[in-house]
Structure 1
Amino acid sequence: MQWKGIGAAPGYAIGPAFLLLEEKIEVQKRTIPQAEIEREVKRFSDHTSLAIEELEALRESTRQKMGEKQAEIFSAHILLLQDPEFIGAIEAKIRTEAVNAEAALQEVADSFIALFDSMDDEYMRERAADIRDIRNRLLRKLTGAKTASLDDFNEPVILLAHDLTPSDTAQLDRSKVSAFATDIGGRTSHSAIMARSMDIPAVVGLKEITANVKPGDILILDGSEGLVYVNPSPDLVAAYKAKAERESAQKVLLQQLKDEPSVTADGARVELVANIGNPQDAVLAKEYGAEGVGLYRTEFLYMGRSALPTEDEQFQAYKAVAETFGGTQPVVIRTLDIGGDKELPYLNLPKEMNPFLGYRAIRLCLDRTEMFKTQLRAILRASAFGNIKMMYPMISSLHELRQANQLLAEVKEELAREGIAYNPTMEVGIMIEIPSAAMIADQLVKEVDFFSIGTNDLIQYTIAVDRMNEKISHLYQPFHPAVLRLIQHVIQAAHSAGKWVGMCGEMAGNLTAIPLLLGMGLDEFSMSASSILRARHLVKQLDKGRMKEIARHVMTLDSSEAIVAYLQEHVMDKL
């Protein structure tokens, strides 16, 4: 039996299944007598303090075992448990509704979880797992519920669970757990990020695997391809043992590339940079060998709070990322990309029939100019501390670009009058993620310093395929000839004007796509941090001159299937 999910952490494992099935914590909502309300608030406060103590111990043990970057996940959990807005909302519910602490906690936490789960951005949706982790920790404290232990394994196993929280993942003993698989989750969840840093192969998003595997079943887990085999044949086991040996040898080779430049076999230089969501991600990216940041998703700063982040909060976050990369390597900050599909209560956004094409991203920012100018000020201030570049999302016309640049000019004048330092020559670019922008790239390029192609949206808008809809996900094809023609047009338009072009969609980290994009002339590839070294290893084997010939031939092919087959036969199979 074979199960297909999402490869969250590369690598292979073979071993018996261990099911970690935690019982759902049942919460009964009770009315509290008025005389006991303050006692109930204190009970909640006391258990919150105990949870913080637990997290502080877990943070320290994680720091010792895995390093500072992973430990910072628990710092974020601690901050949330100390956040007067989050904790205050729970205490206020206890007082105003006279309900027990468990019910108040669950209702408030679940509203945060629903907020994150509703967002289009996968990175933001995965933050819901952190809130669940905190909620469950507090509920166990308040109810006295027990959780299944991860410490009672007699041999290395492949752990199966509906989901694994960051706390669960941090406590995995690598000598006892060779890999894990979950029903839900994505590549950007903290547990997936931690699995990659701990070198534990992982597959997530398997839907119902825990209901279809028995304890002790022999599994093969392929974290590279997102596959799990249940009770495989001896021949398949032998084949995967050979793969695991090759993988081990390649890891040694990849680590040697961490500090090397990304140069092709014929001497062409490209940039391999990372997509991040916060300053902690930047630290992780740097350790993975990223040469900078190609996409800083600033939405993270706006999530999980009851009011807009201040200018100084944003400034400190942007400055921290610039300093992580030494003040010289590029950090491309995308302005706020949020809207109707991301329901931030304090923005009072209208409900929309089609939020993906609605009031969002640059459209929202050009309408709410004070909010936008606050972010522009923060980015400009941070530009004095590093090689910061900025780009606008979801540009569809010259008019929008000119409006945004006019606001940027106003902010520059304000900062100059106030005597606040910034880089007056900071590069400003746009995301090319709407077909209309791709088609007028030759016009847009005259008023920007660079393009960054956002293939995740460009593909779905070009082919009219909702990439989140499982029923039609097979139609979402990065190698569709129409998509490739738009990408080629954008690169040619930029290079004709002497401007550089990057790509920050998932396609940039696709090993089959990299040779083609290199041949098309793409200058910068921005991807998940864990993909950097594999991409660098591939780039060093490629001859850019030959890849240009490959790209020319690919553009004559008429289907994505033919294109992928050609790239596999004429490039990948020859490496």
Structure 2
Amino acid sequence: MAQNKEDHLNLLCDLGDLAALFTGSQDIESFLQLTVELVARHLKADVCSIYLYDISTKELVLQSTIGLNPSAVRNIRMKPGEGLVGNTFEQMKPVREAYASTNPMFKYFKEADEDRFESFLAVPIQRGVQKIGVLVVQHEKHDYFTATDVMALRASASQLASAVENARLLIDLYQMSEKNHENQAAESLNFIKGESASGGYAFAASAIFKKSHGRLISDPYDLNKTYTINDFYKAVKRTSEQLMDLQSRLAQRLPESASLIFSAHFLILKDPKYINKIAEQIKEGVSPPDAVRSVTKHYIEIFSFSPHAYIREKASDMEDLGGRILKNIFRTGLEESFLSEHRIVIAGELYPSEILKMASEDVKGIILVKGGITSHVSILARSMQIPLVIADRAELLNLPEDTPILLDAEIGNIYVNPSEAIINQFEEQRKVRETTAGLAEMNPETRTKDGVRVHLFANINLLSELSTARDLKAEGIGLYRTEFPFLIRSAFPSEEEQYLIFKRLFDEMAGLEVTIRTLDVGGDKALAYADATSGANPQMGFRSIRFCLHHRSIFEQHIRAILRAAADFEKLRIMFPLISSLDEFLEARQSVKDCITALEHENLAHHLKPEIGMMIEVPSVVEIMDGFARESDFFSVGTNDFVQYTLAVDRTNEKVADYYRPYHPSVLRGLARIVKSANDNCKDISICGEMAHEPEYIPFLIGIGVRAISVDPRFLPLVQKIISSLSITQAAKHAGELLSVETLKDARNLIQAGII
């Protein structure tokens, strides 16, 4: 049995290195073949097969196998619900049979030569709500597979789901029907005042990022140069090598990217149909750049016209890959960098996954010509320590490539073609920063001037921030945002992938308290592959806990991963976002209890009794706080959403930004009532939104009774310094004065005056 467990662990370790499977294969078919061989070897199975769902024919197709007759590949097909494999797919549940042929659902395929394989185990391959296919193992021995094998195979299917999904998309591509330059006008710009979204400084050449799924990068080089088919093949090889290097660098910088960010790129490069179509056009006399454009556009059109949103999203990957190949053709024999590497990128808008690709290329800074500073792209840039400035100047997108730009993201200044004097001034500032670099000193405990204890916690977006939180002596994690592993992927991360991320979180924060906020997507945290983005007003739409309670399987995988990862962790807190009613909270809490019961039944190690709390972000909570206080173990106020929902102001909409006023009397009074109710009921309450680190609001928060604050790690020294300068008497008096006023003008004047 010990050997069996070791084999299963080795299997998961091997599957975790998906890059090796990609790079070790010649094409899509060989990748799938390597996969079945790996699984069969570790489970000591006579047969391993992968069945993929064909969207066009609505059939499961045997796509790869070891142990069955090779001629059966792509010839065995069945409908969902048909046979044991079809039943596994339809029910999305494992099927284990000691004597497969005796099951009334068993379907015999003569061409498979599977008569002698009686032991049967099948598990579904699924990414979130998307059904992909079925992974099957078989053995001659009766009753060969155990419950442990079921869990191991399910984990394997989860690990492989993203890569197998991309393989299936490319296979489906050939069965879809065929569907039927750049303007450059640079305007002279010198100095632009923008808004800082992520601090830092950068001086580099510009790179313009434009989304255009129907148009590829045009040739910026010598149009008279002749390129050969060898130049094309060299460009493909160089592109593959560059992608592997980028993925490796990103994995080191961002542990959350356990799945390959560039998985679709790798599979397309391995696809002989894509490569051969381009080669055929070149042999017919088409120039290599034009051939790459033609075939890539064809793929983009097919992806773009798909009825499935997650397939349409692949058009972006396709364009990115085509652009990389073209750049490598144009730069044949050159050693210089390309794309966004070492550049300042100017973009109209960016998805979180695109920020990650830029981070992998060591982008020096980003300028967004639209967006809100509270958006999750901004949060991600701060977490990755990429300077980011938002400037409402669309003409920046018309700057020529490689324009020198100096970016002062500390205050939001953009210098285009900066003078020698400005560059020298910037260099002097850089030298001063390097000389004074280092973490600010903090005391292990935070106390007011009169000795009252206030607990300081860290908000964490990415695992890379944990070391800073520890170095700054944070007392734990007051808010771990779980949505980032979802935002940076092109499909839902599996339970196993989430488990690995959470396990590292708990291992690194051993002995401290960790509060995990469950999945909070939708609104300004849209997932391209989910249905949480619909509606004219997504901030008020199908998001956060509403999305999770609707998609129970996704929510339960999420909760299970948290509980399993925290099996040996003491101080676990789980809180739900955007709770608007007591019924909603009780339903979400019951889901956690159900997951604990299921894990006990499966005999899987897990945390037995986490504290369960909620975010306070919706005004409907204020009037029934006492009811929540009886049921919830703790509270955390997300002031960003609480302000926007109280004032009916979309905090990501720059047109109404001036109406987003945390000092509004209704906001302040609402916060005071929430904190009083929690304190009266002896329930912990913390503040974790932007107000928690803004110096003008900290005296008010302390004055109304807040004794726990959670902020981004970089703000911890500042917050401690402000709190240590306050006395409770002063803070309470200041809060009382603010709560007595009724106009915005009076509240603003008191806030600005501070404590005198």
Aligned position for 1:332: 515
Structure-to-structure mapping, 1:306-317, within 5 angstroms:
307-317=491-501
Shift of 1:538: 2.0
The aligned residue for residue 379 of structure 1 is 562
1:246-285: CA deviation from partner (whole Å, max 9, x where unpaired): x97996796122x633322222222332333332343444
Distance 2:477 2:604 in 1: 25
Q: After superposition, what is the alpha-carbon deviation per residue over 1:289-327, rounded to whole angstroms, capped at 9, x for unaligned?
A: 5432222222223345455322222222112112222x1
Going from structure 1 to structure 2, the CA distance change for 1:441 and 1:80 (only over 3 Å counts) comes to: same
Matches within 5 A, 1:212-361: 223-226=409-412, 255-257=440-442, 260-287=444-471, 289-303=473-487, 305=489, 307-325=491-509, 327-339=510-522, 344=527, 347-348=530-531, 351-361=534-544
Q: How does 1:139-150 map to 2 (within 5 A)?
A: 140-144=327-331
TM-score between the two structures when normalised by the length of structure 2: 0.56
CA distance in 1, matches of 2:549, 2:366: 45
Which residue identity does 2:675 align to in structure 1? I
Aligned twin of 1:528: 712
Judged with a 3 Å threshold, the aligned counterparts in structure 2 of structure 1 residues 519 and 202 are, in CA distance, closer, same or farther, namely same
Gaps of 5+ in 2: 1-189, 219-228, 279-291, 348-353
Aligned partner of residue 447 in structure 2, secondary structure: coil
Shift of 1:492: 0.7
* 1:402 shift after superposition: 1.2
Q: What's the offset of the Cα at 1:392?
A: 0.8
Counterpart of 1:47 in structure 2 is: 238
1:465 Cα deviation from its structure 2 partner: 1.1
CA distance in 2, matches of 1:231, 1:28: 24
Q: Which residue of 1 aligns with 2:194?
A: 5
Partner of 1:123: none
1:191 is displaced (CA, Å) by 5.1
1:568 aligns to what?
752
SS in 2 for 1:490: helix
Q: Which residue of 1 aligns with 2:267?
A: 88
Q: State the AA in 2 paired with 1:144.
A: R
Cα–Cα, structure 1 residues 350 and 8, in superposed 2: closer, same or farther, change >3 Å? closer
Q: Which amino acid aligns with 2:550?
A: D
The answer to whether the 8 Å contact 1:183/1:206 transfers is: yes
> 1:188 aligns to what?
378
RMSD: 5.2
Q: Are the structure 2 counterparts of residues 46 and 311 from structure 1 closer, same or farther at C-alpha, using a change threshold of 3 Å?
A: same
Q: 1:170 to 1:438 in 2, by over 3 A?
A: same
SS in 2 for 1:270: strand
Query: In structure 1, how many angstroms separate the alpha carbons of the residues matched to 2:555 and 2:398?
Result: 49
Q: Which amino acid aligns with 1:20?
A: S
Report the counterpart of residue 448 of structure 1 in structure 2.
632
Which is worse superposed, 498-507 or 352-361? Answer: 352-361
SS in structure 1 at match of 2:458: strand
Alignment check: 8 A CA contact 1:106 1:135 kept: no
Q: 2:662 aligns with which of 463, 470, 478?
A: 478
Contact 2:231 2:332 in 1 (8 A): no
Q: What is the alpha-carbon distance in structure 1 between the residues aligned to residue 378 and residue 584 of structure 2?
A: 31
Judge conservation of contact 1:435–1:458 (CA < 8 Å) in 2: yes
Give per-residue Cα distances to partners, 1:414-448, cap 9 Å, x unaligned: 22333333333311111111110122111111101
* Contact kept? 1:160, 1:210, Cα under 8 Å: no
Residue type of the alignment partner of 2:440: Q
What is the SS of the residue equivalent to 1:80? coil
Higher relative contact order (CA 8 A, sep 6+): 1
CA distance in 2, matches of 1:74, 1:417: 31
Q: Which residue of 2 aligns with 1:537?
A: 721
Does structure 1 conserve the Cα–Cα contact (< 8 Å) formed by 2:630 and 2:681? yes
Q: Within 2, Cα distance between the matches of 1:10 and 1:28?
A: 31
The answer as to whether partners of 1:384 and 1:421 remain within 8 angstroms in 2 is yes
Residues of 2 paired with 1:40 and 1:220: CA distance?
A: 35
**What CA distance in whole angstroms lies between the structure 1 residues aligned with 2:362 and 2:688?**
32
Query: How far 1:553 moved relative to its partner?
Result: 1.0
Q: 1:434 aligns with which of 598, 618, 626?
A: 618
Contiguous gaps of at least 5 residues in structure 1:
30-37, 60-68, 120-128, 152-158
In structure 2, what is the Cα distance between the partners aligned to 1:298 and 1:486? Answer: 27
Identity among equivalent positions (%) equals 29
Contact kept, 8 Å, 1:133 with 1:166, in 2: the verdict is no
Specify which structure has the higher proportion of helix. Answer: 1
Asked whether the 8 Å contact 2:236–2:325 carries over to 1, the reply is no
State the distance in 2 between where 1:500 and 1:74 align.
32
**Matched length:** 516
> 2:381, 2:528 → 1: CA distance?
27
Equivalents in 2 of 1:130, 1:346: separation in Å? Answer: 14
Summarize the Cα distance change of 1:95–1:397 in structure 2 as closer, same or farther, 3 Å threshold: same
Query: What is the CA–CA distance in structure 2 between the aligned matches of 1:78 and 1:527, rounded to whole Å?
Result: 29
Q: Contact 2:209–2:345 (CA<8 Å) still a contact in 1? A: no
Q: Which residue of 1 aligns with 2:28?
A: none
Query: What amino acid does structure 2 have at the position aligned with 1:333?
Result: I
1:359-438 to 2 correspondences below 5 Å: 359-386=542-569, 387-438=571-622
Q: Would you say 1:20 and 2:211 are equivalent positions?
A: no
Q: Distance in 2 between matches of 1:147 and 1:182?
A: 30
